Amino acid sequence: MAGHVYGGIEAGGTKFVCVVGSGPAEILDRKRVDTTDPAATLAVCVEFFARHTIRSLGIASFGPLELRPSHPDYGHITTTPKPGWSGTDLVGPFAERLRIPVAIDTDVNGAALAEVRWGAAKGLRNAVYVTVGTGVGGGAVVDGTPVTGMVHPEMGHVSISRRSGDDFGGVCPFHGDCFEGMASGPAIEARWGQPAELVHETERMVEIEAATIAAGLRQIVYVLAPERIVLGGGVSKLPGLHDRVNDELVHQMSDYAILAGHRSVFVVPPGLGDDAGVAGALALAMAAA
């Protein structure tokens, strides 16, 4: 689709980033819109895209989202703690005004699609994107299609094996010590009594964090058998984290011998950096065009 121009929205809880372009390296216009109430936020975004000629629009959004195509609430946010946003139709306002195909998926499914298209998982048939930051989330692409079903995956809420002797209770309001409850930024802060960047015992902190993340990734590997896991998010920037997670994963999955041959290229940093969100939105748009 060389020459075509697409629209993308990275829809988050604090900002909506709207872009027009044909890929992460070809962004022609960009607008940041603060996330206020739904009607006002979406209206500003609609007007931005109405000024451009785009072939299709992709929305990579926070959730939870209704993504079953046959469901009457397809493209709506379902129930979110974010005030005013539960039940918001994210697709309708754009489809009605712009009269183009509008695709929507989770931010992490969008990021996975973008990493397969342009980034660190380029060309792979089966790849996963996991973000570890304020929360933990994961998206997957299998044979070019982001994985959704009854709802979308919530990979951050798998349970994980507890490290021997560890009695930290975790911070997930639903499960306590699930993947997110044990590995997220807030989990690090709760465990150490201060944010990661202030912890003096960096080596020990990274060691524990890598083991915890590997315990979560193990579940994903056994269920989905991805060819590669792109690990992003703020926590993933801890020094040496990816190498340690790779080593821990090989250690924890000793029977899964094939991993040993791919150590250091199995869990990798994102190829698209901070533009993964808008790149994901553009990738969704291109897939829907």
Judged by CB under 8 A, does residue 143 bind a second copy?
yes
Distance of CA 280 to the CA centre of its chain: 9
Residues 6+ apart with CB under 8 A from 287: 58, 103, 113, 144
Judged by CB under 8 A, does residue 145 bind a second copy?
yes
Of 21-29, 36-44, 223-231, 242-250, the segment contacting a second copy by CB under 8 A is 223-231
Judged by CB under 8 A, does residue 126 bind a second copy?
yes
Q: What binding mask, one character per residue, do residues 62-91 give for a second copy by CB under 8 A, x or -?
A: ------x----------x------------
Judged by CB under 8 A, does residue 117 bind a second copy?
no
Min dist CB 155 to a second copy, Å, is 5
Min dist CB 225 to a second copy, Å, is 4
Cβ-based burial of 42 (10 A; exposed 0-12, middle 13-18, buried ≥19): buried
Q: Are 147 and 156 in contact, with CB atoms under 8 Å apart?
A: no
Judged by CB under 8 A, does residue 2 bind a second copy?
no
Judged by CB under 8 A, does residue 211 bind a second copy?
no
Judged by CB under 8 A, does residue 53 bind a second copy?
no
- Contacting residue, 43, 44, 95, 142, with a second copy by CB under 8 A: 142
Cβ proximity to a second copy, 128 vs 278, nearer residue: 128
Q: What binding mask, one character per residue, do residues 154-173 give for a second copy by CB under 8 A, x or -?
A: xxxxxxxx------------
Which residue ranges make up the site for a second copy (CB under 8 A)? 68, 79, 125-127, 138, 140, 142-143, 145, 147-161, 174-175, 215, 218-228, 253-259, 262, 266
